Structure 1
């Protein structure tokens, strides 16, 4: 009996990892280093909603730390957490259609518009507001989809 109680107590904390309390449209992560503002970022983004959703709630977590090239006056590392509404829209330019994900009311220090590629990678929106940013800086700032089977999928 005592062994069964120990097993139950050990397994109880894992129950929260087994199921999502809400539908998850997607979960992405990435490292945005070498930014012109002097900060390197570790980004995690979760979009709530079923697979066919066109809007929902997003959860953004950004760990900011001073870049190796930044001056000491930049300050210490800190964590930014944000939650608001995301919206999907489609634009057509040059005969191509792009799916754009807008993070409404995102902090101005963070990227708020991404192009969702067919591979489910999020690439920052180019300055023209209609296409993916395929520059070196844009490629460094892309977010990679986290596998559905990954530990902590859908959680920030």
Structure 2
């Protein structure tokens, strides 16, 4: 009978872990975005998931960012990083359109993180684009390479960066 008990415990433990993995984020999520940023190497991208924690009405909070290098050909230097810090949101008006500026604090400047953006403009459609030095959205082809798309609130990965 002991082997049956161990099997039952293992089964229940596996189910518990599986169900917890399907649970939503631990707290309220202000927003969740993702994108595929270019690397300076050919056929390489960095998959980025950015989650801003806090209720939908928050003006500041913590963020979680997951980045994973993706090489189209085999590479030994694939890297996965989880970064955290704080964020703040500020209403801005650009050409008569109400937008939001989102600033991330706490991103380090190591060479692997050099392509990360710390100042975004959230467009009315929810897309985050880098902010230029004068506070406008960078809508150039180079700026749009670094945009992040909003993940729908009801989607499976929402809030799980």
TM-score class normalised by the smaller sequence: 0.7 to 0.9
Q: Distance in 1 between matches of 2:118 and 2:68?
A: 16
- 1:95 deviates by 4.3
Q: Which moved more, 1:94-103 or 1:46-55?
A: 94-103
- For structure 1, the 5+ residue unaligned runs are 69-73
Gaps of 5+ in 2: 1-7
Shift of 1:152: 2.7
Q: CA RMSD in A?
A: 2.7
Alignment CA distance shift 1:19-1:76 (3 Å) = closer
After TM superposition, the structure 1 = structure 2 runs for residues 29-68 of structure 1, keeping only pairs within 5 Å, are 29-33=34-38, 35=39, 37-38=40-41, 40-65=45-70
Q: Distance in 2 between matches of 1:56 and 1:144?
A: 20
TM score, norm. by length of structure 2: 0.75
Query: Residues 134 and 80 (structure 1 numbering): CA distance in 2 closer, same or farther, change over 3 Å?
Result: same
CA spacing shift, 1:75–1:25, aligned 2, 3 Å: same
Q: Deviations over 1:105-149 (max 9, x none)?
A: 212311111111111111111232x11000001112110111112
Q: Is the 8 A contact 1:24 1:48 kept in 2?
A: yes
Q: Which residue of 1 aligns with 2:4?
A: none
Give the secondary structure class of the aligned counterpart of 2:19.
helix
Please give the TM-score of this superposition, normalised by the length of structure 1: 0.78
Q: Which residue of 2 aligns with 1:152?
A: 157
Q: Counterparts in 2 of 1:1-156, with a 5 A limit?
A: 9=12, 11-12=15-16, 13-33=18-38, 35=39, 37-38=40-41, 40-65=45-70, 76-92=77-93, 94-108=95-109, 109=114, 110-128=116-134, 130-156=135-161
